[in-house]
Amino acid sequence: MKYLPILGQSTLSIGGEMREHYQNYTHVNFGQIPASYLTENPHQWLHRLLIHGDLQVHPKLRLFAQINNTVRFWNPNPITSQVDQNTFSFHQWFADLKLKDQLVLRVGRQELLFGQERFIASREGPNNRQSFVGAHMIHKQKNMRTDLFYTHPVKLNLGAFDDVKTTEKLAGLHVKYDRILEQLNLDAYYYYFESKAREYYSSVGAENRHTFGLHAYSNPQRFNYDFEFSKQLGRFKSLDIQAFMAVWDLNVAVKPHRYIGFSGNYVPGDRSTKDGQLNTFNTLFARPPFGQTVALNISNTLNLSPYIRYQKGTQWLVTARASFVQRTSTNDGLYTPNMTQLRPFDPQKMTSNALKVCDIYALDVNYVPTKHYFFQAEIGYCQAGSYLKNTGAGENVIYFAIRNAIKF
């Protein structure tokens, strides 16, 4: 049901997606679970339905709306509303106004996604996708795209039409330039983030954070590279923010469609609790960097990750990866992707000189035979290191998942 004529120049397109997702955990969160949980070995079925209507009112005006239904089954533990379930809502509703041939103003509730999603992602992996309310200016040229936006993240709740706009603020400028050189693409960005909800080493307070970064990457070829460097400044409570992130991904084709690669990150943690600074890096609204096996962020970690990959066009993508993760600072803890405290979990175990976090071994299979069907299977094993054992339960995690999606 695409481009149905309505009146005059108006057309209406209707489409959507149905996704069914099975997950099975042994020792979820390394066996460190809240008192309200009934089991540390849950399995669950996640259902998601998205239906949208796209109305092209006029060559200069487009209206878009998308409804969302996500539900979790079988798991007896409390539902995590932001991730697992959102019974019914308008996931997106916005208007696009074409100001000039290459300039569009988008106003309303919308998804945002930039670069490799290391800061702002649609959050496709979990059951609920992330959306923002605000204004977004998009300018496109032949090899260049510029995005300027000011938004509030949306907090998802369990019921129907009960989502709320948060008091957090996210604004920024993102410039994408393709083929500056034959094998060089470059993204440059600035993000402003304001919040009172993020937590750093068991301390919550007002935060104003500025993120500056560069992302350089190649076009698909025999040898591929991806580098991203970011610096953060600002204030958290009475502390000056001084933090940075370095991420890399290198691979080479040893045979057609077969690659050997090495990726990783170096993201220092807070150096001292007495120097008047906060050195913990905030990844804002990034995709989970270690997949669904463990809810672990890259803040305060050094990660070395060799992998092998089979990639054939857009149909097959199979990756077997090992990730060896350790803390960079003994004066900082570990964080979840949404920047809440993951460790230390027990207030009586705040101090540990151990650096080793975990070793993660994962196999990820993606198969897309047509534009209407998507299949994914994931297997992950995470061996807990000495730091996880010193600061709480440090059980090894086993994860298995199958995901099917039909788009129409």
CA pair distance 274, 178, nearest whole angstrom: 44
The arithmetic mean of pLDDT across residues 258-271, rounded, is: 97
pLDDT tens profile 326-382: 999 999 999 998 888 888 766 566 678 899 999 999 999 999 999 999 999 999 999
pLDDT tens profile 165-209: 999 999 999 999 999 988 899 999 999 999 998 888 778 899 999
Pair of tokens at residue 212: 């500056």
81 pLDDT tier (thresholds 50, 70, 90): confident
pLDDT of residue 285: 95
pLDDT of residue 162: 93
Instruction: Mark residue 284 as left, alpha or beta (left: phi above 0; alpha: psi -120 to 50; beta: remaining).
Output: left
Q: In DSSP terms, which residues pair with 215 in a beta bridge?
A: 187, 228
pLDDT of residue 51: 98
Pair of tokens at residue 45: 């079925």
Amino acid in the structure at residue 169 = K
Q: How far are the Cα atoms of 52, 58, 113, 260 from residue 217, in angstroms, in the given order?
A: 33, 37, 17, 17
pLDDT of residue 346: 62
Q: Which 3-state string (H, E, C) describes 303-320?
A: EEEEEEEEEECCCEEEEE
312 pLDDT tier (thresholds 50, 70, 90): very high
The arithmetic mean of pLDDT across residues 95-103, rounded, is: 95
Pair of tokens at residue 218: 């190649």
Closest CA to 245 of 330, 175, 303: 303
CA pair distance 292, 382, nearest whole angstrom: 11
pLDDT of residue 349: 61
Number of H helices, E strands in the chain: 1, 23
The number of C-alpha atoms within 13 Å of 249 and in the hemisphere containing its C-beta is 17
Are the CB atoms for 201 and 194 separated by under 8 Å? Answer: no
pLDDT of residue 204: 87
pLDDT of residue 351: 73
323 pLDDT tier (thresholds 50, 70, 90): very high
pLDDT tens profile 276-301: 999 999 999 999 999 899 999 999 99
CA pair distance 20, 127, nearest whole angstrom: 9
pLDDT tens profile 194-253: 999 888 877 889 999 999 999 999 999 999 999 999 999 999 999 999 999 999 999 999
pLDDT of residue 171: 98
Q: Which domains does the chain have, with CATH numbers?
A: 4-407 (2.40.160.100)
The arithmetic mean of pLDDT across residues 308-325, rounded, is: 96
Q: How far are the Cα atoms of 16, 116, 202, 204, 407 from residue 35, in angstroms, in the given order?
A: 39, 36, 19, 22, 39
Angle at 275 between CA 270 and CA 281, to 5 degrees: 25
CA pair distance 106, 149, nearest whole angstrom: 9
pLDDT of residue 348: 62
Closest CA to 296 of 117, 30, 18, 45: 30
